[in-house]
Structure 1
């Protein structure tokens, strides 16, 4: 399955290039992230980066994608919103502003929820932005272990 990632608001092609570099640093995603550019138009100097394509497969690639995406968004200084769309048309948006303020439990729960939306076989529309869900009970916050949860900045970000 391939998912498409685009900047929904507050960002541009430079943000997509930065995200591509970030995701390429994830071992589970190496060689799975590619760029889709627009055709060169007369009013531009060359093609413009439009979206990223991420080929997902077995072995935790969906969780690695979501973890990398959330981690990248938490490092942004601006309020970038990224849209992730599955091949079946289902999609969700994740905002840097929303994920930046999540505590560890809420962050793990959000990563698990988004990974399930990306990796599920059925039509999994997530109509909220990341961060809207706060677990009522800490036991609901299953997901990646603290070692797998997004952490500090990466070199070159």
Structure 2
């Protein structure tokens, strides 16, 4: 099961790279969260990724991702960052510092695993 993550903030590309680095430090998530291949625009040699793809299965990986996102957003310098998530059925949610404590519930909605998902 794949979950797409992208960042809205002052510098989305830098924040996405920072988030990817943060998540790669989590032992349970190592190797499971990677930048999506960027498709270059016409005339470009390459592009910068704007989405991370998290490959989640069983074994509590969704909980580990949610806990890591919550910790990431709870850092004082993350106040203006918003992380959007899109699940395999197209369900989209967003989480920011004000609702970081709800990260797991929101992630499960995106994955279609919680009440409130349609």
Q: TM-score range by the shorter chain?
A: 0.7 to 0.9
How far apart, CA to CA, are the structure 2 residues paired with 1:122 and 1:87?
16
- State the structure with bigger RCO (CA 8 A, min sep 6), 1 or 2: 2
What is the SS of the residue equivalent to 1:116?
Answer: helix
Give the CA deviation at 1:21.
0.9
Q: 1:40 to 1:33 in 2, by over 3 A?
A: same
Does the aligned pair in 1 maintain the 2:94–2:106 contact within 8 Å? no
What TM-score results when the alignment is normalised by the length of structure 1? 0.63
How far apart, CA to CA, are the structure 2 residues paired with 1:30 and 1:118?
21
Q: Bigger shift: 67-76 or 110-119?
A: 110-119
Q: Which residue of 2 aligns with 1:114?
A: 106
What is the SS of the residue equivalent to 2:51?
Answer: strand
Root-mean-square deviation (Å)? 2.6
Give the CA deviation at 1:123.
7.3
Give the CA deviation at 1:49.
1.5
Q: Would you identify which runs of 4 or more consecutive aligned residues in structure 1 move more than 6 Å?
A: none
Pairing 1:83–2:84 present: yes
Q: Which residue of 1 aligns with 2:38?
A: 38
Does the aligned pair in 2 maintain the 1:56–1:62 contact within 8 Å? yes
For 1:30-60, what per-residue CA distance to the aligned partner results, in whole angstroms no more than 9, with x for missing partners? 1101101432336767411210000001111
Q: Which residue of 2 aligns with 1:155?
A: none
Which structure is larger by alpha-carbon Rg, 1 or 2? Answer: 1
Give the CA deviation at 1:27.
1.4
How far apart, CA to CA, are the structure 1 residues paired with 2:75 and 2:43?
33
How far apart, CA to CA, are the structure 1 residues paired with 2:89 and 2:95?
19
Residues paired across the two proteins, number: 116
For 1:86-120, what per-residue CA distance to the aligned partner results, in whole angstroms no more than 9, with x for missing partners? 01011210113x147xxxxxx3xx24423532551
Does the aligned pair in 1 maintain the 2:13–2:50 contact within 8 Å? yes
Q: 1:14 to 1:44 in 2, by over 3 A?
A: farther
Which segments of 5 or more consecutive residues in structure 2 lack a partner in the other structure? none
